[in-house]
A and B are shown apart, each in its own frame.
Chain A
Amino acid sequence: MKRNLRVLSVIASLLFALVFMGAQKAKPAAKPSAPPIKAKIGVISIITGAGAAYGEAITNGIKLARDEVNAKGEVDIDLKIEDSTGKAEQALSAAQKLINSEKVVAILGPTLSTEMKVVGPEANASGVPIMGTSNTAAGITQIGKFVFRNSMPESQAIPASIGAAVKKYHIKKVALLYGNDDVFTKSGFDTMKAVTEKMKLKILTVEEFQKGQADYKAQLTKIASLKPDAVFCSALYNEGGVILAQARKMGLKVPFVGGNGFNSPKVIEIAKGAAEGLIVATPWFGDKNDPKVKAFVAKYQKAYGKKPDQFAAQAYDAYYIMTNALKAAGTADRAKLRDSLATTKNFQGVLGKFSFDAERDVVMQPNVLIVKGGKFAIFN
């Protein structure tokens, strides 16, 4: 508790300094400038239903950013939040309402890739910039030139973690292990295999397992006998934790690189000490030693009583990217906002340095993490 207070006070003083610095900087600019740009921004998210937890995190992140940005006075944003309930048709009618009745200048959301596949074409046809903050499937921004996203697709995280591990441990030959009865772990494996082949690493063996299996010793014994430099493993944390524990117990001590399914503190809960040395990549790392991240976590925790997750962080950054583009455009015009948004380069957010590529998709370095001393830490 005491330590928390001290951390908080440090953050508070940092914030204070930041505010003052901002104020000083803003002063000369603010004087001659016109009144703030007034605009409506629509948000489509899952407010009710099974996915409501995502929607809650996303809207919390956006509201936090709105209060901060509005307080600065350069823009005056009115948020219009609509519920999609996680259904594509509901998301579509919400989008139509926002576009035609509310006349929003841009839309943040919707939450799911399946929703975006329906809403994206509508917004694109109406010439409304739309930015997904949580869509990770392939082919989202290819819908049209008004469609953006700031959520890292699955295919970007895995190359980063593998790349970092290969560089550090001089990995030449690897074993691959994955769950063959789950869409998520299978697609993670496909990416892993493609990256491994591209990096010209030697694949000694590809082993499979099924969900709920208790004993992985046969696969692990085989892998151990081939003496790989590392194991790339696409598993959900439940199986992943057990695999790690059994591997370490039988003396397979090489580095493990996990897919997105491994990316959970639950792995450490299950595998305990055996999780040490596991490497994963993630766009959001809440314990990052970065004043921006720390300030965001503290503010979020104060406002909502819990730590921000990946979805809150992505939404928070998305709002900043959107309003920065609005400021740069200078007017609440949909087409001008789109052009200005597309030029976003090196935006420094809580997720790190962010740019859009030519196809309005994410260019960002994910955080590569390693389990050390019972928790995730930056791997370098």
Chain B
Amino acid sequence: MFLEQLINGITQGSIYAIVALGYTLVFGVLDIINMAHGEIFMFGSFVGLLVVTKAGAPLPVAFLAAIVSTAAMGLLLERFALRPLRTRRGASHLASMISTIGVSILLENLAHKLFGAGNHLFETPFAEISFKIGPLTIYLVQVVILVISLLLMVGLALWLSRSRLGKALRATAENLETAGLLGVDTNRMITATVVIASAMGGVAGVLVGMAFNYINNQMGLSMGLKGLAIIIFGGMGSVYGAMAGGLILGLSETFMVAYGSSGYRDAIAFVLIIVVLLLKPQGLFGVAPAEAKR
């Protein structure tokens, strides 16, 4: 049972990690928490579902459709919910977070209207492919999810640290005005960040559908809260922290059920956060702020 639960935990953790990566990217650059991320993730899931079941298209098309639609949603989110508040002098830092909460409520209800309440079956032949190692049954989906999450993490880390665009992004994160003065198109950088983060949410959405076979319009909220817990736990804005935090949370939840009591499954996430924050207030991979940023 240990190995099976290990696989369950890694699968769950990888999905948490991808969701958390989206959060951490936006937070790292904008210093705000995008509360609509969970709902964008949920929408990506439904788009994938529609493409696979209604249009009968193959999975890569579903991924593509989910990425395109969630990227578009990210674009709209930035344009209409974030930018108007950013350009306004004296607008509180929290204002943009509140506006993303508004977007999340809008999206959840929109999904209710469009797709209906309750669970929807997400059926793909790909999700049925499995192979056996000894007594262990591993689904190909589970491997794919882990690989995709690792690739996203490495890709994101490299892109941020090595590429020109990544440098511009970090400059924008460091100080919006200075970066602007130095010739960085900060609006474009921020838009790119939100769009990329949203598209990653879309990928996670389709992966969840494949891994668990069911999706509903409420899942953005619970997944979003977990994602939020992970970035606090792993360190706000840290790519590796999101990955490690996701895996640790997924594994600890699963093993809580396996060897402890399933009633405490959700509590474990928050116990972990409290413990980590007590020992290391910046989170696992967080860096203490050097000085006040601005």
Chain A interface residues (CB < 8 Å from chain B): 180, 207-210, 212-215, 217-219, 221-222, 225, 238-239, 241-242, 245-246, 249-251, 266, 270, 272
Contacts and interface: CB of A to CB of B under 8 A. Distances in A.
Contacts of B94: none
Nearest to A239: B119
Interface stretch (B65-73, B160-168, B214-222): B214-222
A66 B73 CA distance: 59
Given A219-B257, A221-B5, A270-B121, A212 B216 contact: yes
- Identify the interface centre among A217, A221, A270: most chain B CB within 10 Å of its CB: A217
A249 B216 CA distance: 19
A246 B118 contact: no
B213 A249 contact: yes
B208 to A, nearest CB: 7
Given A217-B8, A221-B1, A238-B119, A209 B262 contact: yes
A239 B216 CA distance: 11
B257 A222 contact: yes
Given A208-B263, A241-B119, A218 B8 contact: yes
A100 B66 CA distance: 66
B137 interface: yes
B4 A242 contact: no
Nearest to B142: A217
A221 B258 contact: yes
A242 B212 CA distance: 9
Given A215-B8, A218-B262, A270-B118, 14 more contacts: A207-B257, A209-B262, A209-B265, A214-B212, A214-B216, A215-B212, A217-B8, A218-B8, A218-B12, A218-B258, A218-B265, A221-B258, A241-B214, A245-B214
Contacts, number: 81
A222 to B, nearest CB: 5
B119 A246 contact: no
26 contacts: A207-B257, A210-B265, A212-B222, A213-B222, A214-B215, A215-B8, A215-B12, A217-B11, A218-B8, A218-B253, A218-B254, A218-B257, A218-B262, A219-B262, A221-B1, A222-B1, A222-B257, A225-B1, A238-B118, A238-B119, A241-B119, A242-B212, A245-B121, A246-B212, A246-B213, A272-B121
Contact of B261 (A208, A213, A246): A208
Most buried by A among B215, B258, B265: B265
Interface string B200-215: 0000000010011111
Contacts of A180: 263
B41 to A, nearest CB: 12
A372 to B, nearest CB: 20
B87 to A, nearest CB: 38
Interface in B1-43: 1, 4-5, 8-9, 11-12
A241 B122 CA distance: 13
Contacts of B211: 215
A161 to B, nearest CB: 23
A89 to B, nearest CB: 32
B266 interface: yes
B118 A266 contact: yes
Interface in B108-157: 118-119, 121, 137
Interface string B207-250: 01001111110110111000000000000000000000000000
A222 B259 CA distance: 9
Nearest to A272: B121
Contacts of B216: 212, 214, 238
A245 B213 contact: yes
B123 to A, nearest CB: 8
A222 B212 CA distance: 17
B219 A222 contact: no
Contacts of B4: 221, 225
A229 to B, nearest CB: 18
